[in-house]
Amino acid sequence: MKGHTIKEWLLATRPWSFPASSMPVIVTIAYLWSQGIKISWCLGIMALVNIILVHAAGNVWSDYFDYKKGVDADDTYGVRILTDKQFTPKQVFTLSVILQVLAIGMGLVMVWLTGITLLWFGLAGITLSLLYPPLKYAAMGDLVIMACYAVLPMLGTSFICSGGIVYSVLLLAVPVGSITVAILHVNNARDIETDRRAGIKTFALLTGRPAAINVYLLELLLPYCWLLAITLLGFISPWTLVSLITLPLALGNCKKMLSCRTEGITAIARLDEATAKLQLAFSLTLTIGLIIEALT
């Protein structure tokens, strides 16, 4: 693949979105440590690299099909690498295949190192990644994102690092996954008209923009309410409440989403990226709280 710099290829994978995949792994490792569970740090790092590869492959795979389907066009927001002719469809497709092969290869190595149980997590993740475009077009994208970037990676990482599935980590899959789903949801809420023109259905399109706005608010505020609730119930360390310092960021995003009612969709043109930044801030502070718990 010639004609582009390494930086351009990297940008084509949408690295700003990687907190959505990397943070569930990091949070899981920190959670296991805080629970006094023995961890394989090397395998944890492998899991982190692997899920980023899967995510990068999924991003360009989705971009390829969105372009072919007409979802991404000259007058749409979001990814411009194909609509602006920065890359050809063949180049994007090839990049996705290469990343998928690398991810599968690393995944098989981890299966060899940990056990056959991991294979089922890997197969589920790869399958959902490959099927994401048609599932997204059938209003199931939000569910796929919750599975691929919360439930599966957190359970899978717990197995990779500890040798057994730690189901209690799902308590943290709710807040982490909710913000991740919001990244997709705000994108779809912004693109309702162009998605309808392309003949696809998203959850935001089915509900309509007024309801989609409210869903986004719920997805951003739920993590804080959930974290407070499980802390008060004694399921998690009070140190995790350090994540509450990111609440002003969440409220700022909510305000921006509400402004869409009066200012139109231009007001939320980059809100998906802002939501990814919130995911990073929330999950990092959650990780810090878990690390403090592990050290005390």
pLDDT of 194 reads: 86
Q: Are 167 and 133 in contact (CB under 8 A)?
A: no
Q: From 241, 170, 182, 178, select the one nearest 213 (Cα to Cα).
A: 182
pLDDT of 202 reads: 93
Q: Are 209 and 260 in contact (CB under 8 A)?
A: yes
pLDDT of 2 reads: 53
Q: Are 176 and 24 in contact (CB under 8 A)?
A: yes
pLDDT of 72 reads: 67
pLDDT of 11 reads: 85
Helix (H, G, I), strand (E, B) or coil at 85: coil
Q: Tell me how many degrees the CA angle 130-181-242 measures, rounded to the nearest 5.
A: 130
CA dihedral 227, 231, 237, 240 (to 10 degrees): 30
Quickly count: other Cβ atoms within 10 Å of residue 132's Cβ: 20
Q: Look up the pTM and report it.
A: 0.91
pLDDT of 10 reads: 87
Amino acid at 265: I
Can you give the residue ranges of every domain in the chain?
Answer: 8-295
Which of the four CATH numbers 2.40.10, 2.60.120, 3.30.1490, 1.10.600 does domain 8-295 have? 1.10.600
Helix (H, G, I), strand (E, B) or coil at 287: helix
Output the tens digit of pLDDT for each of the chain's 296 residues: 457 788 888 888 988 889 889 999 999 999 999 999 999 999 999 999 999 999 999 889 888 888 887 776 666 666 668 777 888 889 989 999 999 999 999 999 999 999 999 999 989 988 888 888 889 889 999 999 999 999 999 999 999 999 999 999 999 999 999 999 999 999 999 989 888 988 889 999 999 999 999 999 999 999 999 999 999 999 999 999 999 999 999 999 999 999 999 998 999 989 998 999 999 999 999 999 999 999 98
pLDDT of 1 reads: 47
pLDDT of 153 reads: 94
Q: Are 27 and 293 in contact (CB under 8 A)?
A: no
**DSSP 8-state assignment for residue 150:** I
